[in-house]
Structures are given as structure tokens and as C-alpha cells.
Chain A
Amino acid sequence: MGLDALFNQAVEFYNSFEMNNTIVQIIASIIKFVVVFSLCLQIPPIMVWAERRIPALMQRRRGPNRVGIGPWRLYGLLQSAADAVKLIWKEEVVPDGANKVFYQIAPIFGLFPTLLIAMAIPYGHSFEAFGYTIPLSIISVDVGFLFIFAVSSLGVYGVTIAGWASNNKYSLMGSMRASAQMISYEIPLGMSLIPIVILYGTLDLNEIVLAQGSNVLNWGIVSAPISFVIFFICMFAETNRAPFDLAEGESEIVAGFHTEFNSAKFALFFLTEYVAMFVLSCLCSIVFFGGYQVPFLPYETLLELCGGITWIASAVGHGFLLLKAAFFMWTYIWVRWTLPRFRYDQLMALGWKFLLPLGLANVFVTALYVAITTF
């Protein structure tokens, strides 16, 4: 590309600011980004708290219930805030022999893809403000599924780099296990969504939500139940959570790939893990549970109930999406304290020898059914 062309492009880019809609969209994007990012920052503290309180309830203990403000204990909700502050003020210990550069950038490598997927999720129905239509997803690409899978594969890099850079055998083994597990379960995960694409005929996440509508019988869970089962299992494997948490099996490899990480870098890994859980929960609710659709209440009726104000209707829908996602976040904890850990060969066999053929058969049967009924 010559300099002239570059200059012309720069002029074009500058001129594009004259368009009012573009400016509004950019400003809206920045606001949405800030809101979603602060939402992502809130998830780990709340989830850590929930992950202590819920098992405590299950085991008839109290769990952390002391840390609060002054006389108000707030059910120990501030415990995780105290933990976070403590964590950041800890000493940074870089092990001797670690690769200094990769050791420092590994947490950032992990955070980026997760954050990117969090931005691609449609959080609500688009609404009207000041005469402009504002969609409630930051990266609204028309190949949403492909984008999400392309980006989520990048998450393996953070794990692998972290394990290799620490110069610790447990870290290395943990990262090997984690990356092998993540790539193995990505195939059934991808396969499970193909029937959804066939049924609703779109790759766009927002359009999938709109195609499902508010009728529960038209949601993904009813039209493709086997897909849901595969997706649900893969959700746990992709985030390295129990019962597939072999990457950090305490009795075997200490803590897996983040054994040598401490202080704020460890907090970054924590953040990444919980945001990944949240993102997959959101994805599951969007694909199989109608996303931001209110059950049995079409958007038009909802809009009428909200007095024709679109942003209230969007907020209600957004609340429903978060409610659905919260259910899956709770399931993560529920499953963790219910099922024992798998053995590694069992885990790989489940992915390659059961879920993959099942996914292929599911694709075939769904395609055959749709072909017979529509052609």
C-alpha cells in the first residue's frame, strides 16, 4: 500500500467522524465496554464468596460470615474483597530459572481472549436512545459462533506459556494437561452447536436469541436437547472445573499451571477463570435458553408493559439473561461439590470416544430431520 493510499484512508477515517451515528456508536461502545468490564471485575469476588458459602450450606457449616462493615456483617460478603486486597499486597516471588518475560505476560495472554468473548455476547435487546438504535453487545459480528471459537482457542496459549515459563515440573504438567483437555473438548463443544445453526439458520448470537423467541417450546433446549447435554459437559471441561479439574489436582500436581504465580498475577488467573465461567454460562443461556427473552412474554408485549420505553424492556431482558447465567454459575459450584474427580484417561476417553461420535451423530440426525421436514 502506497503512502497516498494510506493518507486517503486516514482522511476517510477522519471524515467518518462527521457521521453522527458513528460517533454515537463509538461512545456507546466505550460506555458498554466499561459497564461489561466492571461487571466482569465483580464476578470473581461474588463467585469466591458463593463458592465458600454454598458448600458450607451443603455441608451444614457456616462458611465465612464475619467480614463486613462495622456492625453489619453482610453474610461475610466482604470476605473476598479483603482477600483481594491481601493478595495484591503480597510479595512477588519470581522463581529462579523462570523465563522472566513469558512469566510476566502469561496472565495477560490468558485474560485477553476471555475478555474478548465477554464483549461478543449480546446482553440484551437493542434499545432506542436519542433517536439512535444501540445494540447491547460490543463486538456484534455476524459470524458470532466462529468468532467465539476462534478466540476461545487462544485461551490455551496463556495456560501453556504460564506452565512453561515457571520452570516447575508441576506447572508444566498442569499446563500440558489443561491445554490437552481444552483442545480435546473444544471439538465436541463446536460440534454441539452445529444443530443449533442448522435449526435457526444463523451464526449471529443476537439473531439466534431473536429466532428462539419467547416461546419456551422454541428454545434450543427443546429443539436440540442432545446438543445441550454435550455443551453442558464441555462447559465444565473447557474451564478446567470439577469434575474435570485434573489440571489442578491438588494431590498430584500441587496447583497446576499457576503453582508459581502469586500476588496480582495469581489474581489475574483467578479473574480469567471466573470470567470464563460466566461467559460460558451466558453462552449456554443464549443458545439453549433464549438468552434475554422473557419466558412466554413476547418482546412486543413486554414493551407495552414497560410503557413503550425501550431501555426498560432491554433492562428487564438483561436481568433475565443474568438470572439464567447465574443459575449455571450456581451449577458449577453444585457439580463441584457433588461429583468426584475423573481419572485423566477417563476424561480423554469421554471427550474423544463418547462426546465426539455423539456430536457427529447428533449433527447427522438433526440435519436429516430438518432436511425431511423442509425439503
Chain B
Amino acid sequence: MNPYLPVLGVFLFALVFGGIMVALSAFLGPKKYGKVKHQPYECGVPMVGLRDKMSVKYYMTAILFILFDIETVFLYLWAKSFKSLGWFGFIEVLVFLLILVAGYIYVVRRGALKWD
């Protein structure tokens, strides 16, 4: 049996279970439309149009995440075969890590990790 087959099963199940829950909330319970009730919750402040363009403050974080996350995945594969690679693999990854740390220091120095 393919070990990834249950993934498909879980996906279908989550779809069905979640669908049932979402449908339940639509069918059960009272239904009364109210102009004020159906406004987004804004504590009395006038609504802001969110479908316009907006600045995403965490854009840089997301890009850095991709960079470092891929690096982590590389390290996993190296760690798995660490004992069979020996000193050769160790030195190679050391060089890789040094380049990465240089990039990390650059990122910190340029202030990409500052929040205000």
C-alpha cells in the first residue's frame, strides 16, 4: 500500500466533515437579517474598504522565510546522511552555512528584521 494513500483519505474526510459543520451552521439556528447586525465588527468606527490595495508589512519576513526554510530543508537531508558523508559533508555544509550566516548578517545590518 502506498504510504501516502491515507493523505487522500484524510483530505476527503476533512472536506466532508468540515462541509457538514459549515452546512450545520447554515441550517440550524435562527435566521434574521439586520442591516447593523451584518456589518463587520468595527467598534463603531466607520468601515474601511479592505478590497483596495494595502501595504503588507510582513512582505520582507515572508521572503526571508522562504530563504531560510529552504535552507532548513537542505540541512535535513544532510543531517539524515551525516554519518555516511563523513568529514567531507561536514566541511561542505560548513561552507554553505558560512555563506548563509554572511547573508543573515547582511539582512540584520540592513534593518530588514526591524519592526516598529
Best-buried of B18, B80, B94, B104 by chain A (most CB within 10 Å): B18
- On whether A348 and B69 interact (CB within 8 A), knowing A91-B30, A112-B11, A119-B6, the answer reads no
Asked if A297 CB lies within 8 Å of chain B CBs, one says no
Q: A375 within 8 Å of B by Cβ?
A: yes
Report the interface size class on chain B. 35 or more
Complex: A140 Cα to B104 Cα, angstroms: 36
Asked if B51 and A167 make an inter-chain contact with CB atoms under 8 angstroms apart, the answer reads yes
Chain A residues positioned under 8 Å from B61 (CB to CB): 180, 183-184, 348
CB–CB B1/A344 < 8 A: no
Chain B residues, CB < 8 A from A348: 61, 113, 115
- Tell me whether B93 and A187 are in contact (CB under 8 A): no
Is A264 touching B10 in the complex (CB atoms < 8 A)? no
**Would you call A168 and B22 a contact (CB within 8 A)?**
no
Chain B 89-114 interface 0/1 with A at a Cβ cutoff of 8 Å (1 = within)? 01001100100110010001000011
User: Is A111 within 8 A of B18, CB to CB?
Assistant: yes
CB nearest to A193 among chain B residues: B76
- Does A183 lie within 8 Å of B40, measured CB to CB? no
B29 to A107, Cβ gap below 8 A? no
Chain A residues near B38 (CB-CB < 8 A)? 93-96
Q: CB < 8 Å: which of B18, B29, B79, B90 contacts A263? A: B29
Q: Which of B1, B17, B56, B94 contacts A22 (CB 8 A)?
A: B1
Chain A interface size, as a band, is: 35 or more
Within 8 A of A (CB), among B1-26: 1, 3-4, 6-7, 9-11, 13-15, 17-19, 21-22, 24-26
A33 near B9 with CB under 8 A, answer yes
Check A312 for interface membership: any CB of B closer than 8 A: no
Given A167-B40, A170-B41, A367-B90, residue A263 in contact with residue B10 (CB < 8 A): no
- Which residues in A have some Cβ–Cβ distance to B below 8 Å? 16, 22, 25-26, 29, 33, 37, 88-98, 104-105, 107-108, 111-112, 115-116, 119, 138-142, 145-146, 149, 153, 164, 166-172, 176, 179-180, 183-184, 186-187, 190-191, 194-195, 197-198, 201-203, 254, 259-260, 262-265, 267-268, 344-345, 348-349, 352-353, 356-357, 360, 363-364, 367-368, 370-371, 374-375
- Given contact pairs A95-B41, A149-B73, A263-B29, enumerate 20 new A-B contacts (beta carbons under 8 Å): A91-B31, A105-B18, A108-B14, A112-B15, A139-B3, A142-B3, A169-B48, A170-B42, A172-B54, A180-B62, A187-B72, A190-B73, A203-B80, A260-B40, A263-B28, A348-B61, A357-B104, A360-B101, A363-B97, A368-B90
A-B contact pairs, 14 of them (CB 8 A): A25-B1, A33-B10, A37-B13, A107-B21, A116-B11, A169-B40, A170-B41, A180-B58, A194-B75, A203-B76, A264-B24, A348-B115, A349-B115, A363-B75
Interface pairs A-B: 7 shortest CB-CB: A108-B18, A264-B25, A263-B25, A180-B58, A345-B115, A197-B79, A168-B40
